[in-house]
Structure 1
Amino acid sequence: MMQSKNNRIEELLTLLKRERKYVSGARLGEIFGISRAGVWKLIKELKTKGYRIESKPKKGYLFLDFPESLDLYGIKEGLKTRLLGKKLHLMEEVDSTNTWAIKEALKGAEEGEVFLAETQTQGRGRMGRKWFSPKGKNIYLSIILKPEMPPQKVPLLNLGASLALAYFLEKVGLEPELKWPNDVLLKGKKVSGILSEAYAEADRVNFVVLGIGLNVNTRKEDFPEDIRNLATSLLIETGKEFSRNELVKRILEEFEGIYFLLKESPQQLLSKWCSYAKVEGKMVEVESFGELIEGVVQGIDEDGALLVKTQKGIKKILAGDVKVKGWGDSYL
């Protein structure tokens, strides 16, 4: 059966990584039904993309390491998802991965398509803020989702994405905390943020673009001075660099599980999210659309809104900045 060149490269990469030893060109040629010269051309393409593959006469080829840059083959290889990332798109530079994904969604792109970039010139955070997007250091990705939910439930996707990141960070030995509505913190500093943008009608969602920014290999001195003491990265917290290709896979896998859980049991998702936020019962100040609200957090409602008990009663807050009183400038 004929294979496309891309499929052959992906399968070759999977095989070399799995073997963890030299594999001869003759054997690879037999497996893929091509000549040894054809194998060499595929290996050469992988090397051009930054993969470290050692070639030795009479021994063959040995996989050593992934490239430092993002690479679609490296992300697809071993990706264990049913929906997210089945179609991946990568650009060196974009204005914003969310803007790019929205344009493609309006053209009919499918649910689960993922858009990645090495850098963003106009990366967006929540409430119009700019997202720091240095080249080749972090992860900037956007996912097209087409959930069957009313528009008021869309904020649950933010909570789900931040919960997925919390799960992933725990698995690399870190202790994340979640900040309503969409930030992930390590030791009180932001390591990740989520931005969802929905295109919806009165009673249904056409599509949502969910953007995730994760600070991976950024050093403290690389951050702009105004956020240097507010932001962190995996490198800062662990002292080691990470393969961004591997991290993209793990993020997509964690979020897909939560996305399916959200369809079946949104209350379970909310309960798990609250266990990482640890803000219930705290006295807070919330700045929401120019209004300053003070009160005690009662929890999160079924739509993902923050419930704050004020002197005038329970206030349902859909968006805003939350500051826990008595904790200095610690925004949780």
Structure 2
Amino acid sequence: MKFRYLGNSGLKISEITYGNWLTHGSQVENDQAVRCVRAALDAGITTFDTADVYANTAAETVLGNALASERRESVEIFTKVYFPTGPGGPNDTGLSRKHILESIEGSLRRLRTDHVDLYQAHRFDYETPLEETMQAFADVVRQGKALYIGVSEWTAEQLKEGHALAKDLGVQLISNQPQYSMLWRVIEDQVVPMSEALGISQIVWSPVAQGILTGKYKAGGKLPEGSRATDEKGGADMIKRFLEPKTLRAVQKLKPIAEGLDLTMAQLAVAWVLQNPNVASAIIGASRPEQVTDNAQASGVTLDQDTLAAIDKALGKIPETDPSLTKSPARRLT
């Protein structure tokens, strides 16, 4: 496992992050989830990402229990705040001072730790003054409950404004967590250049495009049993945009490229996002331990320019590149 610095900081994280969105506490039984975490640790992964909203806080509990026997200093634990949790009351969502300061307490309790390494704004909150949000995050850092702060799915301009406020408050905003894959490249035009200028890294989610880039979905074929596309708890909604026949046919053209490099298609997809120097880590999820072991082998893989060009040729105009698709919900969900 290789490691990279996260943003303009001294924090090193594993190139592969294990994330438990759509799995722990919902799609995957607890015992299996723990086995996935053990597989991640065995593969050399030290960085783990979750959020309070995942399975309405249950995912944090599962991760906390799975990591309880580990030396705290040997792992990096990330979580997030913004989306509704609990009963969904008027202050159970957003990035207000009240919600942030109350949410960090709940996350720490469920994760069984006295601090997280990175506390992230899960989306941008248009209804709370950014100054209030960043002051609350700064207070969380000063209280020792988070070491660094990050965000998720913020636009280039939002990153610029948030970074400036954080700097004025004496804290480090070092990361952004966007969706990024061969099929979803919307951060490349604006978010990545701004991040590079500010010293912010990307921790990218869905590098395998919800499983589409594994090649297991075939145009006109039956959806694989037990796959994310058949998961009615949320997975099916997320993956449906990639199930267009033309997309699936293009993805099949990647198979000979992967085989020529002695990689699985999933490994090729994860390695592809890691070729972007602004990407510090790729988040992988799994419902089975062997998926973790397989995907983790993408760390350290170098794809030459000919390979990258062949990937672009295979996919043609299929990848989404519109930077306006980096956005947060217009209003809080309640």
TM-score (norm 1): 0.26
Structure with bigger helix share is 2
Structure with bigger strand share is 1
Of structures 1 and 2, the larger Rg is shown by 1
TM-score (norm 2): 0.26
